Amino acid sequence: MIRGLTPQYAQGSSVTLSTTQVNGTYQWGVVGAQVIGGGQTKEVTPDTATSYYVRVTISPGCTSFDTVTVFVEYPILTYDTLTICLDETATLVADTGQNYSYLWSSGETTQSVTKTEAGDYYVDISMPNEICFTTQNFNVIVDTCYVPLSLPNVFTPNGDGINDGWQPFVIGNFDEFEILVYNRWGTLVYKTTDKAFVWDGKNLGGKLVSDGVYYYIAKTKYQDKLQDFNGTVTVLDGK
pLDDT at residue 6, as a whole number: 44
Q: Please state which architecture CATH assigns to domain 76-143.
A: Sandwich (2.60)
- Do 110 and 168 form a contact (C-beta atoms < 8 A)? no
- Give per-residue pLDDT as tens, 99-134: 899 999 999 999 999 999 999 999 999 888 776 778
The topology (CATH level 3) of 2-73 is: Immunoglobulin-like (2.60.40)
pLDDT at residue 75, as a whole number: 64
pLDDT at residue 5, as a whole number: 44
- Give per-residue pLDDT as tens, 22-31: 788 899 999 9
pLDDT at residue 4, as a whole number: 41
Is 154-235 a CATH 1.10.10 domain? no
pLDDT mean over 70-89: 80
C-alpha–C-alpha distance, residues 203 and 231, integer Å: 18
C-alpha–C-alpha distance, residues 151 and 44, integer Å: 71
- Do 16 and 39 form a contact (C-beta atoms < 8 A)? no
C-alpha–C-alpha distance, residues 199 and 176, integer Å: 18
**Two domains, one topology: 76-143 and 154-235:** yes
**pLDDT band at 135; cut points 50, 70, 90:** confident
- Give per-residue pLDDT as tens, 163-211: 999 999 988 888 999 999 999 999 999 999 999 999 999 999 999 999 9
pLDDT at residue 12, as a whole number: 60
- Do 92 and 115 form a contact (C-beta atoms < 8 A)? yes
User: Cβ contacts of residue 100 below 8 Å, gap of 6+?
Assistant: 94, 111, 125, 126, 127
DSSP, collapsed to helix, strand or coil, labels residue 12 as coil
Q: Which of 236, 81, 39, 51 is nearest to 152 (CA)?
A: 236
C-alpha–C-alpha distance, residues 129 and 150, integer Å: 56
**Total-model pTM:** 0.47
- What are the extents of the domains in the chain? 2-73, 76-143, 154-235
